[in-house]
Amino acid sequence: MLLKDKVAIIHGAGGKIGGATARAFAREGARLYLAGRTLDKVKAVADEITAAGGTAEATEVDALDEAAVRAHADDVAKKAGRIDLTFNAVWIRGDLQGTRLIDMQVEDVLTPITVAARTHLITAVAAARHMVEQGSGTILTLSSSGSHLSGRDQMKHAPGGFGIACTTIEALSRTLAGELGPKGIRVVCVRSDAIPETWSTDPAHAEQINDFKTYMTAGTVLGRMPTLAEVADATVLAASDHARAITGAIMNVTCGSVLDMD
């Protein structure tokens, strides 16, 4: 087991990426403290993990509320004795895409950017305070290929503030890595491409979604898009001691829609 007895906090655990990652962490032996704004969804994931023999506790936490996040981290550290891992899979309003910046309201452009910066900073710092004391830990953030769109993709998607938000998360991750590395703490950002399993299944949008999937798939060198399981497995690897020499890095889980030095 790659994460045996690791104490992990996952924010956004009631969502599809957060839930898939929680299940993968549990499979690898982590002790999980799952957090999210909708307790029923988070508890459903925790109950599934517990039923399968894992260890998971669910708590209602708004990852944009600094006081709530810090209180939760303090509670986890008190109960478990430490925090080894934290992963933020909180949704950053990717729905605000599809309109050119010049046609958008300023607040709609800024919303994903401010949400992304605020939630990742809050959750990282809350866990880092405890990790600094213990001299170890790994902070995992979540970005997307929106941070590295080609000109063709910029024209096709009109990502609004979402792409800027993803770039912000990656920059924040590198800054945290530089500051926290001397304290024994790693920071890794997982960059995924769009994941079809997370898309709407509304029949009214089927034609549009099929067109989008065809376009996106054609832009990958592997000829397919990543699955939830693949993103979760990559996050497990980044969290594990097998990646103990990796920090300040962007883990590229895009099936080759992005090819760069990261």
DSSP 208-262: HHHHHHHHHHHTSTTSS---HHHHHHHHHHHHSGGGTT--SEEEEESTTSS-S--
Q: What percent of the chain has pLDDT over 70?
A: 99
The two beta strands, 55-60 and 85-88, are unpaired
Give me the pLDDT at residue 261, please.
59
Give me the pLDDT at residue 199, please.
81
Q: What mean pLDDT is predicted for residues 4-9?
A: 97
Give me the pLDDT at residue 203, please.
82
Burial class (CB in 10 A: 0-12, 13-18, 19+), 201: exposed
Cα–Cα dist 257/262, whole Å: 13
Give me the pLDDT at residue 124, please.
98
- Partners of 137 in the beta sheet? 185
Give me the pLDDT at residue 156, please.
77
Break the chain into its structural domains and give their ranges: 7-253
Mean pLDDT (the chain) is 94
Query: In this predicted model, which residue has the larger pLDDT, 159 or 191?
Result: 191
Q: Comparing C-alpha atoms, which of 51, 59, 57, 49 is closest to residue 26?
A: 49
Query: In this predicted model, which residue has the larger pLDDT, 94 or 218?
Result: 218
Give me the pLDDT at residue 262, please.
54
Residue 45 has pLDDT above 70, yes or no: yes
Residue 138 has pLDDT above 70, yes or no: yes
Structure tokens at 225: 């898009």
- 48-98 per-position pLDDT tens digit: 999 999 999 999 999 999 999 999 999 999 999 999 999 999 999 878 777
Residue 36 has pLDDT above 70, yes or no: yes
Out of 72-81, 94-103, 128-137, 231-240, least confident range? 94-103
Cα–Cα dist 241/223, whole Å: 31
Q: What mean pLDDT is predicted for residues 9-36?
A: 98
- 171-184 per-position pLDDT tens digit: 999 999 999 999 99
Residue 150 has pLDDT above 90, yes or no: no
- 243-262 per-position pLDDT tens digit: 999 999 999 999 999 987 55
Superfamily classification of domain 7-253: NAD(P)-binding Rossmann-like Domain (3.40.50.720)
Out of 13-22, 77-86, 211-220, 244-253, least confident range? 211-220
